[in-house]
Amino acid sequence: MAPMKPPKRLQALIEEGLIDTVVRQLMSGKEATVYVVRCGEDTRCAKVYKEATERSFRQAVDYTENRKVKNSRQARAMAKGTKFGREASEAAWQSAEVDALYRLAAAGVRVPKPYNFCDGVLLMELVTDEAGDAAPRLNDVLFTAEEARTHHASLLGEVVRMLTAGVVHGDLSEFNILLSHDGPVIIDLPQAVDAAGNNHAQRMLLRDVNNLRDFFGGFAPDLLSTQFGPEIWDLYQRGALLVDTPLTGHHERKAGPVDLGGVLREIDDARAEDAARRLRMQQAG
């Protein structure tokens, strides 16, 4: 395949010698466009983040809570939504994904290996299938019940490994997990949150795990009754969660006063998540 004309945002990386040629566009979403690129003998991918004005939903307070910025001027500008503030917010989002990717790769989580970050472009490993082509997303693959159980167990292990590294993905679903030649690989981390420093981390962790349960439960209905999310979070809160901690899928909810406000927030969050999921499905179609 002949190389394509390099997009303007990638030209700088060619001039810097970080990439040699741009092969093709791999995918385009609301937050970024991803290209297949050649670096010497290697084929990699370049994630080009879109400008703040082009992007969609990532500025939610839940995700940005406790996210570090360089100084109080940036924080004030981000809160006011000034042009400088939007640029600072954009830099924080990009930095969050890059930081999370390096942190999780170092912890042994199955994420694409990061190579470089330059001028709003993240250069990383291209996840491939058995034929060496770009790996499909889970939502584009059909599974047997046994395959579904195997991949579900594997991904629960990755969620646990992420949590022991102090990270919650925050938007994990079949739309941002690739099926490589040797199993699932987790992608898209700009919304990752610090498990200990974000008050919404528990809800996000439960939602991530429930998304996995619901998707794989479509192929293996016995998974639909499992309660891995509450079990994982309970172990984490008690300081008892290790990478190899055995999980049962059962969890006894402790009796106590009902937090009505919390319940209503959960309902609102579920509605928002369903709307986001429908939007992603439309874009994927």
Which residues belong to the active site? 171, 188
Residue 267 has phi, psi (to 5 degrees) of: -65, -45
Q: H/E element holding 114?
A: strand 114-118
Is 106 in contact with 95 (CB distance < 8 Å)?
no
Contact 151, 137 (CB under 8 A): no
Unique residue bearing structure tokens 């579900």: 152
Short-list 176, 151, 167, 153, CA closest to 107: 167
- Cα–Cα distances (Å) from 282 to 47, 193, 225, 276, in that order, read 22, 26, 28, 10
Whole-angstrom Cα distance, residue 141 to residue 174?
Answer: 10
